[in-house]
Homo-oligomer: A and B are copies of this chain.
Amino acid sequence: MTTSGIITLTTDFGEIDPYVAMMKGIILSINPAARIVDITHQVPAGSIQKAGSIIKEAYKYFPAGTVHVGVVDPGVGGKRRPITVLAGDHFFVGPDNGLFSPIIETQGHTGIIHLKEKRYWMNKISSTFHGRDIFAPVTAHLSLGVNPFLMGEKIDNPITLVSPLPRKKNSDLVGEVIRVDHFGNLITNFTKEHLSPFLKSKGIIIKIGSLVIKKISTTYNDVPEGQPLALIDSSNLLEIAINMGRATDYLGTECGIGAKVIIRFRNSATN
């Protein structure tokens, strides 16, 4: 795999402390030509699953050979292993705590390396900031083209976090809200594939809390302003939204992450 020279960063560090900049300084010290792109540093503290799903959504828009670093690392300094995952022609670097499960789940992988070779690390390794001391320098070396298999030992037992998938219950499909975006849209775990047999059917019913939606729209303005709708979003996931409004305001406490979303097909069950 050839490197693209691009590095992305996803962390729960926020933007007030100098932690992200320290990582960038180290990367540029090792590879002055690296181009660094922030995905987000606003992952809720310790939310491995959320960071993993964000990296999974974003990475495929970058050129093959990009190195994606994820640092949501509540077990730092303990026994969890530092790893590099090769998947879908990209590199993923971070803690072995399930962060890259969503990528491995959908893409498979072509190698997972337990990072052990200290010559690719900083000289001194703190017990609280491996993002700076291990992941940043490893990332920079990968972006220079160093063979990832030289950096440690192949493993085949990474920690796995299972993503919640919709399940069948009688004739309903039961899924959930997995992300609430900046616009108050509710992103669910129903994919276009789950729904495509029914997209043109008039018999679909989508329920979340007390709200019932009876069709899949194509754009936000398929419904009047202020009205709720469901559509397949730009990541091919079912999204609940309000035209020119915020679904989180409309639905209130009924709709946070984990809220149940039920799909029923009118001709397949009594309503």
Contact = CB atoms under 8 A, between A and B. Distances in A.
Contacts of A179: 17
Q: How many copies does the complex hold?
A: 3
A231 B12 CA distance: 21
Interface in A205-223: 218-221
A70 B24 CA distance: 18
A258 interface: no
A246 B74 CA distance: 12
Contact of A15 (B36, B42, B234): B42
A54 B14 CA distance: 14
Contacts of A239: 128
Contacts of A269: none
A18 B63 contact: no
A28 B66 CA distance: 11
Nearest to A219: B77
9 contacts: A6-B32, A14-B182, A17-B182, A18-B58, A25-B59, A77-B218, A78-B220, A127-B231, A128-B234
Interface of A: 4-6, 8, 12-19, 21-26, 28-29, 32, 35-42, 45-46, 54-55, 57-59, 61-63, 66, 74-78, 126-129, 132-133, 179, 181-183, 218-221, 231, 233-234, 239, 244, 246
